[in-house]
Amino acid sequence: MYFAALLARTEDGWEASDTDLDDVETLSDLTDLAREASVDEDTVLVFIEQEDAWFGVIRVDGEEDPRIYVSNASAATRSSYGEILLTDELLGREPGAEDSIAALEELVGLDGTEDGEPDNANHNSDHDNADDDDGIDAVPAGPLGDTGLLSDLGLPEAELLMLRTDALVEIADALGAAEVLETVR
């Protein structure tokens, strides 16, 4: 089960609204949605949570690039909403690298065998036992992104990194926005 909400900072405090992400396909779409909720280009936070698996916070300040934090990147990769947040830049990949590798794998068999040669799956060399997680598709099992995105709003990096369950409630509480978030939850 997912929950998504926008928190827009105004001169009177925070305003919250629940958010429908059905039409959001990219980070640009999500950023545009946040900017539309902004009053005078003030700070807007987008919260996305998949119950007991991961949460993400996207911060948009005016026309600046969005700042992103994801609590568990590997869990988020298994979510269509998480994939929106896990950009090539956030993952430290060259833009389009995943598409290039998929295209290459389609063109050539990268299983180490020639056409017609049997696949010896039981061979064990030191090279084969090397860390496969160092490849381009490796995604950390923990937090990823800008851990300081809420520091100036009252939630230090160390506290953000410790959040697990009810994280969005705790974040909103630290920001002084718990009551407005609860109205849309």
Q: Could you write out the DSSP letters of every residue in 7-30?
A: EEEETTEEEEEE---TT--SHHHH
Question: Cα separation of 76 and 125, whole Å?
Answer: 33
Q: What Rg do the C-alpha atoms of the chain give, in angstroms? A: 20
Q: Judge contact between 3 and 185, C-beta under 8 A.
A: yes
Residue 63: per-residue pLDDT: 92
pTM value surpassing 0.85? no
| Cβ–Cβ under 8 Å, residues 59 and 150 | yes
pLDDT of residue 3: 92
What's the confidence (pLDDT) of residue 99? 55
Q: What values do phi and psi take at 146, rounded to 5?
A: -85, 95
Reported residue count of the chain is 185
Q: Give the model's pLDDT for residue 164.
A: 82
How confident is the prediction along the chain (185 residues), in pLDDT tens digits per residue? 889 999 999 988 999 988 888 889 999 999 999 999 887 889 999 999 998 899 999 999 999 999 999 999 999 999 989 999 998 889 888 776 555 555 545 555 555 544 555 555 444 444 444 444 444 457 888 999 999 999 999 999 999 999 987 899 999 999 999 999 999 98
If we measure between CA atoms, which residue out of 17, 22, 13 comes closest to residue 5? 17
pLDDT at residue 39 in the model: 76
| Residue with the two structure tokens 């005016």 | 62
